[in-house]
Amino acid sequence: MQFGILVNEGPYQHQASDSAYQFAVAALEQGHEVPRVFFYMDGVHNANRLQEPQQDDRNIVRRWSELAERHQIDLVVCVAAALRRGVKDEILAPGFRISGLGQLVEAGIQADRLVTFGD
């Protein structure tokens, strides 16, 4: 089964990013595919490589980058939401790219299920 994932919340103020990440890991471990994760609204902050969590805290941005590299997952950040929040190409973490809402629509069409995390 193919899952598209939509993340609408930032990495440290809401559980949505952690839940989406854990869902993706579990789906991949069960043999499912996660071809694309789309970050929208405050979810675009998940792509900001300038975040520096404490050493004893999880690094959500790095987790997404590493997962994407290991499983060839397309991490797409909504351009309009990103620009409104000051997230630009030069601060994107590895594996993330900026694009439009058409990528979300495409993920919804191509996936068997589109799972949303956050409001």
Please list the residues that pair with 50 across neighbouring strands: none
Residues labelled as active-site residues = 78
CA distance 88 to 16: 22
pLDDT tens readout for residues 50-107: 988 888 889 999 999 999 999 999 999 999 999 999 999 999 999 999 999 999 999 9
Domain 2-117 has CATH 2.40.30.110: no
Domain boundaries, the chain: 2-117
pLDDT tens readout for residues 15-49: 999 999 999 999 999 999 999 999 999 999 999 99
pLDDT of residue 37: 98
pLDDT of residue 9: 97
